[in-house]
Amino acid sequence: LKKAKKEQSHYFFYDDSSEDSLYTYEMENELHRAIKNKEIVVYYQPQFNMKTGELFGFEALARWRHPKKGLVPPNQFIPLAEDTGLIIPMTELIIDQVCQDYVSWQRSEMNVPSVSINISANHFMKESLVEDLLAAKQTYQIPDDALQIEITESIMMDIENGIEALTQLREAGIKISIDDFGTGYSSLRYIRELPIDFIKIDRSFVNRIDQSDENMIDFIIQLSKLSSVQVVAEGVETKEQINYLLSKGCEVGQGFYYFKPMPTEEVFGLKVG
Ligand code: C2E
Ligand code: MG
Ligand code: MG
Ligand code: MG
């Protein structure tokens, strides 16, 4: 058995022949097939103005509708997609799906102000991403300010390249949001100088385990005021959290208190106002 395995090892993408790489190789093949068969689908989590209850927009979140395993969450396939480069065709598929869904919401006269798409840091640095986004916006005639991308702070590490791409997107009417803010390496300078529209307060702070989380929320909100970006809270689960955020001046939020991410069919049935 050991020998057979060794002989096969040249088929493997990874250069060692441990169980791990066998697993990864199969997963990679499967993921490749999943993209081709459109098993990667988009769920949407609504975002609200917590003061008025108005719909602010949706965050698009990837799911793998696996024929055997059921609905697989993104943390179980996004890292592999990033490592193998499959994140590129996968994101193309997601962008396309989001635009199609947006158009069908429009047709049914739903007023959806915006929809935001998560973009992996290493993918962001590829020129093709900006091109893909602009092409999709054009093809589906998505109005200005309706599309948003969410990127994490790690992008700012490579600021010189990032700034050009961000500017290009923004000039084309696509908004920029910094995701999971406060969990990575941030520089105040970057927040001030980068063309950014929103910063998202990470769920770990919204949970408010201790005083330092509250300090962090305060800090992020103050920072947003100084740099005229808008804050969005993620992972809002209780009325108490909502009241706290509102008292601090954060008005937009998303979380299980309102809705979990839902398939596009359910978005049509959403009663908001
Ligand atoms: P994220 O962008 O920070 O998304 C927020 C995550 O928090 C989502 O998990 C969402 O379902 C979850 N969440 C929202 N509200 C609550 C709440 O009240 N309580 C709790 N416990 N969780 C809440 P999800 O969908 O599993 O996504 C996890 C991460 O995977 C995302 O974090 C994002 O980094 C990544 N991801 C998801 N879709 C994509 C995608 O299309 N492309 C890329 N590159 N990454 C994606
Ligand atoms: Mg996000
Ligand atoms: Mg987030
Ligand atoms: Mg987060």
179 lines ligand 1 (CB under 6 A): yes
Highest-confidence segment of 6-15, 25-34, 207-216: 25-34
ipTM score of the complex? Answer: 0.98
Closest ligand 1 atom to Cα of 94: 41
pLDDT in tens, 39-98: 999 999 999 999 999 999 999 999 999 999 999 999 999 999 999 999 999 999 999 999
Report pLDDT for 11.
Answer: 38
Model-level pTM? 0.91
- Does any ligand 1 atom lie closer than 6 A to the CB of residue 202? no
How confident is the model over 187-201, as pLDDT tens digits?
A: 677 777 789 999 999
Q: For residue 264, is pLDDT > 80?
A: yes
Average pLDDT over residues 130-159: 90
C-alpha of residue 6 to centroid of ligand 4, in Å: 41
- C-alpha pair distances (Å), 27 with each of 16, 35, 80, 213, 270: 16, 12, 8, 37, 35
Which residues lie across from 41 on neighbouring strands?
63
User: Is residue 34 classed as helix, strand or coil in its secondary structure?
Assistant: helix
By the CB criterion, residues less than 5 angstroms from ion ligand 4 are 180, 202-203
Rounded CA-CA distance 42/98 in Å is 7
Dihedral angle of Cα 154, 202, 178, 79, to the nearest 10 degrees: 50
Sign, CA torsion 80/86/88/91: negative
For the CA of 256, the closest atom of ligand 1 is: 18
User: What is the number of the ligand 1 atom nearest to the C-alpha of 202?
Assistant: 3
What pLDDT is recorded for position 126?
81
